[in-house]
Amino acid sequence: MTAVETDLTPLLDEIEAEARKSIGRGKVADYIPALARISPERFGMAVCGVDGSEYVAGDADICFSIQSISKVFTLELALKIVGSNALWKRVGREPSGNAFNSLVQLESEQGLPRNPFINAGALVVTDAITARTVSPVLQLLGSVRRCAARQDIYIDEEVAHSEADHGHRNAAIAHLLKSQGNLVAPVEDVLSVYYRQCAIAMTCRDLARAFLPLASGGQQPITGEKLMTPLRAKRINSLLLTCGLYDGVGNFAFRVGIPAKSGVGGGIAAVIPGKYAICVWSPELDELGNSLAGTRALELFARKTKLSIF
Ligand code: DON
């Protein structure tokens, strides 16, 4: 593995101070009541190097709801379970240019979701796992724990119930997919797994560690375990770059230039291939559902380290 640079702690402290200036300009996700209670003042950042180095700032060891970042773990697991040929027949690999929870495209494109990170695509991916395994949630948790090299990662059941109680759009998408023949398991089963995957609680440090295999060609450097092939890691990174921040992905590439995945819990996990996995958390979101101060922090990181992939 390539050696990485010097102690990044002072840089992360500087980035935290600067990025915190964006707090107050966004809005904490309130369509899931259990998330609306999170303090907007939280800010954490963790950078893990492929050589095992770790640097953190702020609330990097406080758990938050990973939400859509979970879609990266389900994608990796589904590819493992059903294989890439079968999965890519059911979901595309193009940016959607639409909101993450949009139904419009799904109807006009006959039930083939644009990519695995919009909700429609994520539900198909979750279905692939749900239809083929006896305990999909346990299987997913096991996979996340292996990626993060940490055994006590858990699901916040209160968040999962809260989302299920307000999940009418996701239920609509799932029923539409079912009517279009692109959902195998019962709708209720797929939704139940989906809400629980979104409610996985992790810290910035956990998420940065869990994204390390994507930065290091498929291996988790902490345990030495080979979790995916280099080709699979490369392909997932390409999807992060083109689809990881929904209809904000172009602007994110322009400002930051690092493959990443966001979640409405305020987390963004990012990959600099061959060097670092990064996670930043700040709960206030922009109008597209991506963390406002988190985006700013990654923009500053890319600028100050000159580590954008471009
Ligand atoms: O499907 C939902 O509404 C959420 N549980 C996940 C959405 C999400 O995180 C979108 N990300 N920016």
CATH of the domain at 178: 3.40.710.10
Are residues 118 and 61 part of one domain? no
Rounded CA separation 269/66 (Å): 9
> What's 242's DSSP letter?
H
Are residues 193 and 205 part of one domain? no
Given 4, 246, 249, 256, the catalytic residue: 246
Residue with tokens 């796992």: 129
- Tell how far the Cα of 107 is from the centroid of ligand 1, in angstroms: 20
Q: Which residues are paired to 221 by β-bridges?
A: none
Cα angle 106, 109, 114 (rounded to 5 degrees) comes to: 65
The pLDDT value recorded for residue 4 is: 54
The pLDDT value recorded for residue 6 is: 80
Nearest atom in ligand 1 to the alpha carbon of residue 68 is 9
Nearest atom in ligand 1 to the alpha carbon of residue 167 is 3
Ligand 1 pocket test, pick from 100, 191, 193, 252 with the greatest ligand atom count within 8 Å of Cβ, gives 100
User: What's the rounded mean pLDDT across residues 288-296?
Assistant: 97
Answer yes or no: 31 catalytic.
no
Are residues 225 and 103 part of one domain? no
Answer yes or no: 55 catalytic.
no
Are residues 287 and 143 part of one domain? no
Rounded CA separation 182/184 (Å): 7
Ligand 1 pocket test, pick from 119, 124, 125 with the greatest ligand atom count within 8 Å of Cβ, gives 119
Dig out the tokens for 160 from the structure.
Answer: 């999962």
The pLDDT value recorded for residue 8 is: 97
The pLDDT value recorded for residue 2 is: 47
Residue 167, pLDDT > 90, answer yes
Nearest atom in ligand 1 to the alpha carbon of residue 67 is 9
Q: What residues contact 86, with CB distance under 8 A and at least 6 apart?
A: 128
Q: Which residues are paired to 284 by β-bridges?
A: 28
Residue with tokens 């979790």: 227
**How many domains does the chain fold into?**
2
Tell me the residue type at 286: D
Are residues 258 and 186 part of one domain? no
Are residues 178 and 103 part of one domain? yes
Establish how many alpha carbons lie within 13 A of residue 123's alpha carbon, considering only the half-sphere containing its beta carbon.
35
At which of 198, 214, 232 does a domain end? 198
Q: How would you classify residue 24: left for phi > 0, otherwise alpha for psi between -120 and 50, otherwise beta?
A: left
Answer yes or no: 125 catalytic.
no
Answer yes or no: 264 catalytic.
yes
Answer yes or no: 276 catalytic.
no
The pLDDT value recorded for residue 5 is: 57
Residue 9, pLDDT > 60, answer yes
Which residue ranges have their beta carbon within 6 Å of ligand 1? 67-68, 100-101, 119, 163, 170, 198, 262-264, 289
Q: What is the pLDDT of residues 254-285, one digit of tens each?
A: 999 999 999 999 999 999 999 999 999 999 99
| Residue 84, number of CB atoms within 10 A of its CB | 13
Domain of residue 240 covers 9-66+201-305
At which of 198, 222, 239 does a domain end? 198
Are residues 194 and 83 part of one domain? yes
Q: What rounded mean pLDDT belongs to the chain?
A: 96
1, part of any domain: no
- Tell how far the Cα of 273 is from the centroid of ligand 1, in angstroms: 25
Q: What is the pLDDT of residues 19-65, one digit of tens each?
A: 999 999 999 999 999 999 999 999 999 999 999 999 999 999 999 99
At which of 198, 227, 250 does a domain end? 198
Task: Provide the edge-to-edge strand list for the sheet that holds 276-281.
Answer: 54-58, 44-49, 276-281, 267-272, 260-262
Residue 113, pLDDT > 50, answer yes
310, part of any domain: no
Are residues 288 and 213 part of one domain? yes
User: What's the rounded mean pLDDT across residues 234-247?
Assistant: 96
- Tell how far the Cα of 4 is from the centroid of ligand 1, in angstroms: 33
Nearest atom in ligand 1 to the alpha carbon of residue 69 is 9
